[in-house]
Structure 1
Amino acid sequence: MTAAEDNDETVEDPTARVDALVAEIAPGVRPPGVRRRDAVLVTGPWLAGVSAVASVLAERLPQVLVVEATDLAPGEVPAAVVFVVSAASVLTESDCALLDAAAAHTDVVIGVVSKIDVHRQWREMQDAAREILADYISAGGEPRYRQVAWVGVAAAPERGEPRVDDLVAELSKQLGDSDVQRRNRLRSWEFQLRTDADRIDRDARAEGRRARVTLLQEQRDEVLRQRRVSKSERVIALRSRISQARVQLGYFARKRCASVRSELAEDVAGMTRRRLPEFEVYLRDRLTEVVTEVDEGVAEHLTDVAHELGLSGEAVSASGLTQALPKVETGEPALKSRRLETQLMTLLGVGFGLGVALTLSRLFADLAPGLTVAGAAACTVIGVAVTVWVVRIRGLLRDRAVLDRWVGEATGTLRSAVAELVALRVVAAESALTAELAERNETETARAADRIAGLDRELGEHAAATARAAAVRDRQLPTLLRALENVRAELGESGPADAAVMGDR
């Protein structure tokens, strides 16, 4: 056989002619990926009587292969579709979708209303099916369903022979048309071109991608907002807690100083001369203990503040170690330089003792002469004793007063020292916590920047993909639509191809 003869056979082949028609308009477009099987597919909704109709057709048309949906392999399409609905139920939208799937690549479609032997109103159901298909077409369904032929059958009647003559006649008529093979190929090309056009247009419109882009932008804005808000909240919380700590620790230090002042005042009130040397050492040790207690309380409180803010207490502890505890300078109590006061008190004591002695001597004046001398001696001793007692008591009271003033001055110095200690510790802790908070903010800022960079990369990828899809649509869609218009014209269906694509949106 010559090459010319091969070309003639190719031209005469209806499938090849259709492929050549499409390739002339849209070269390079992928052909329909289906394999045509010379068979009649009988399908329909559940309980519509599909199997009965298929069995009767196989008996009445032995020269025709009759199959059901499960008999077709993936990628196989039939030469004709018989769509069966029951006269007992109304056609639904899901039934229309089933018809779309079954007849996507097939031009020959026959509608069948089954069980007409038991449902006398089958003609009304047939008209209703036509109306429902018309509504489905108006909602974007296949316009070719308007020309679908409908017949009534009784494939498995309760009495009598099956009534399928009209179906057999209609099916034989349509399968006997010499143009069936070409029209079926045109239907396959129509479905393929429309699917490709829908896919390209959908990719360019990128509705799903737009939703993802919107979500990514919202996530990006939320990351930025959270970063600003969290940073401000942490700074405000730190300042607030430091201010509260400054007030609370100042009150704690003053209260501790007042407590030790009362304690030392009680000791002074019961002071004796024997305890005077020990009291000075005790006071200095007690003041040092108070400073240590205040320092420990401040450190503990500031550590708790750090933990409340989610920061480590190590910075607070380190800042406290760099500062030495203040020393409270108390000086010496003025107990020794009291010579003039002692002389004055001695003089007063002598006068008081002399007065006591004279008063007592008058009691012995009228006694016997022998007792007068003894009474005078006794009065003298009593006067001297009173004088010594008055001088000693006055000296002790004076020492207590001096010690009390000294304790007041020492606790005043202590108050100033612990106030300075609290202020320095709070300032140092604030600096340390601020530095640690700044490091944490930098870390979170870097983490947020990485997150934003990842979102920006994905947004850029979506933008690039959208641009590529738009370029593909601008380059390929017009060609596909022209090819689709020619295919529809060959099928005898009017209307622009872009309207068919828009109808699927």
Structure 2
Amino acid sequence: MTGDAAEPERTVDAFVAEIAPGVLAPGVRRRDAVLVMGPWLAGTSSVLAALRNRLPQNTFIESTGLCDGDAPMAVVFVVSAVAPLTESDCALLDAAAVHTDLVVCAVAKIDLHRRWREVLDADRQLLAAHAPRYGAVTWEGVAAAPDLGDIRLNGLVEALGTQLADSQLRGRNRLRSWESQLAMAAWRYDGAADSSARAARVAALGASRVEVGRQRRMARTERAVALRSRLQQARVQLSHFARNRCTSVRSELQEDVASMTRRSMATFPADVRRRVAGVAREVDESIGEHLAEVADVLGLQTDSSFSESVSAEPVGEPPLTSRRVETRLMMLLGAGFGLGVALTLSRIFAELAPELTVAGAVLCILVGLAVTVWVVGMRGLLHDRAVLDRWVCDVTAALRADVEQSAATRVLAAETALTVSLAEHDETRSAVLAAELRTIDAELRQHALARARAVTARDEHLPIVQRALDAVRAELAQRGYARITHEEEGR
């Protein structure tokens, strides 16, 4: 770019710098070329080739011919005559002409569509409604590669050639670059001060802070209630289990006593001690497992202080003491019963076989003696069974008291230990929640400070940028009006 060609741009830069000193100039490189672009299947390639053939003195490029930071001298926007513009088509033109003021629109393929003029009028209204800067854009109908009839490109070539020859084109393009630069700067100041992302983040942080505070208040109460409820359930369940186990072993031992013989009576006390010890051990293991499960469910550390079993009272000997008076009485009664049996049998023998009276008498005496011994023995066995039955009841009652005391004592020890562990856990959890609250508060303060800085910067710089933007738009409007008036006078 020669010095004379760059003079309009320097004049525009000086004009803006006088209004808004310190604002960075647009960092674009102006290409002395015309960009031909449009939506897909709009006929852009045919229009590009035709323009290169009709205007060889100008350079025509597609969007792929531009590098980052390049801006064309003019934009030819080609659309199809099939249907009116869409919002995405307008956005495509905005991106292409962000730094270029000269835009010429062409409706292609008019040889195939008879209602192309209606589409052109609709496109003109849609584009003007999309952005005011497109209200004065020139629209032409073209047929660059017609299937029917001759090539129709004169209107586009004439309009483009006339506007490219405008001496104020470089200045207008520079003003358009400045408008985009200043509008983006104003948007950034507003966005930094009133950022929706920051507001959403602050709202999320506020909700998180409320939730953390609620957790901090509720955690201790909820876990304390859960611990108390679990321990109460454990106390009831363990007492019920111990009571049922003692009742079942008493029933089993009483059944053994009811069918006991004199021979098995000697080993019965040892069997009772073994079974009582087994029940005590089983209840102790159940208590330990249940309390360990409670601690595991609550996520607390178990302590051996409530895992130690409470030993049951030792089982003594059954009260099978000597009973001489009762034995004498039973022998007397048994002798009388046996004598009665012997006399009865002797009479029977005397009537049936008188010749065997002596032998029958001896036999009856022996039978009476055996009956006497049997009666005395059976009465003694029944007495011993009754004594053992009462002894079993006393032993199981003592066992029940011991295991229930063991369950209550160990649940109480577990409550103490788990309450201490819960307090330590709550302290740790409270420290973690407090750290989270401090982190949230620190981020909230950072957002508040950033917003305050952004508001200060906006209040300081935005009026200057807005004033420069208004001046640039006014200058663009004036030059555009002058261009349109000049073209109309020429026609």
* TM-score, normalising length: structure 1: 0.81
2:391 is aligned to 406
Compare 76-85 and 161-170 and name the one that shifted more.
161-170
Compare 23-32 and 264-273 and name the one that shifted more.
264-273
1:21 is aligned to 15
Residue 156 of structure 1 and its aligned partner are, at CA, apart by 3.0
Compare 93-102 and 443-452 and name the one that shifted more.
443-452
Instruction: State how far apart, in whole Å, the 1-side matches of 2:67 and 2:468 are.
Output: 29
Instruction: State how far apart, in whole Å, the 1-side matches of 2:213 and 2:472 are.
Output: 54
Helix, strand or coil at the partner of 2:84: coil
Equivalences for residues 444-455 of structure 1 within 5 A: 444-455=429-440
Instruction: State how far apart, in whole Å, the 2-side matches of 1:409 and 1:423 are.
Output: 21
8 A contact 1:87–1:125 mirrored in 2: yes
1:315 is aligned to 302
Give the residue type in structure 2 aligned to 1:319: S
Compare 413-422 and 357-366 and name the one that shifted more.
357-366
Gaps of 5+ in 1: 1-8, 495-505
2:232 is aligned to 243
2:485 is aligned to none
Instruction: State how far apart, in whole Å, the 2-side matches of 1:471 and 1:491 are.
Output: 30
1:470 is aligned to 455
Equivalences for residues 59-208 of structure 1 within 5 A: 59-136=53-130, 141=131, 143-158=132-147, 162-208=151-197
Instruction: State how far apart, in whole Å, the 1-side matches of 2:230 and 2:441 are.
Output: 37
8 A contact 1:257–1:411 mirrored in 2: yes
Residue 99 of structure 1 and its aligned partner are, at CA, apart by 1.8
Compare 349-358 and 207-216 and name the one that shifted more.
349-358
Helix, strand or coil at the partner of 1:252: helix
Instruction: State how far apart, in whole Å, the 2-side matches of 1:54 and 1:303 are.
Output: 84
RMSD, matched Cα: 3.6
Instruction: State how far apart, in whole Å, the 2-side matches of 1:353 and 1:476 are.
Output: 133
Compare 205-214 and 46-55 and name the one that shifted more.
46-55
Residue 466 of structure 1 and its aligned partner are, at CA, apart by 2.0
**For 1:291, which of 280, 286, 294 is the aligned residue?**
280
Q: Relative to structure 1, is the Cα distance of residues 374 and 54 closer, same or farther in structure 2, using a 3 angstrom cutoff?
A: closer
8 A contact 2:144–2:151 mirrored in 1: yes
Instruction: State how far apart, in whole Å, the 1-side matches of 2:225 and 2:51 are.
Output: 85
Compare 373-382 and 158-167 and name the one that shifted more.
373-382
Instruction: State how far apart, in whole Å, the 2-side matches of 1:168 and 1:475 are.
Output: 48
Instruction: State how far apart, in whole Å, the 2-side matches of 1:411 and 1:429 are.
Output: 26
Helix, strand or coil at the partner of 2:75: strand
8 A contact 1:353–1:387 mirrored in 2: yes
Instruction: State how far apart, in whole Å, the 1-side matches of 2:119 and 2:349 are.
Output: 154
Instruction: State how far apart, in whole Å, the 2-side matches of 1:181 and 1:358 are.
Output: 156
Q: Relative to structure 1, is the Cα distance of residues 493 and 302 closer, same or farther in structure 2, using a 3 angstrom cutoff?
A: farther
Helix, strand or coil at the partner of 1:470: helix
8 A contact 1:292–1:325 mirrored in 2: no
1:489 is aligned to 474
Compare 375-384 and 76-85 and name the one that shifted more.
375-384
Gaps of 5+ in 2: 480-491
Instruction: State how far apart, in whole Å, the 2-side matches of 1:96 and 1:418 are.
Output: 87
Q: Deviations over 1:239-290 (max 9, x none)?
A: 4443333333223222221222222223333444555443333323332222
Residue 368 of structure 1 and its aligned partner are, at CA, apart by 12
Q: Relative to structure 1, is the Cα distance of residues 476 and 337 closer, same or farther in structure 2, using a 3 angstrom cutoff?
A: same
Q: Share of identical aligned residues, percent?
A: 57
Equivalences for residues 203-352 of structure 1 within 5 A: 203-225=192-214, 234-307=223-296, 309=297, 311=299, 315=302, 318-328=304-314, 330-352=315-337
Residue 379 of structure 1 and its aligned partner are, at CA, apart by 6.7
Q: Relative to structure 1, is the Cα distance of residues 275 and 158 closer, same or farther in structure 2, using a 3 angstrom cutoff?
A: closer
Compare 252-261 and 215-224 and name the one that shifted more.
215-224
Residue 452 of structure 1 and its aligned partner are, at CA, apart by 4.1
Residue 96 of structure 1 and its aligned partner are, at CA, apart by 1.5
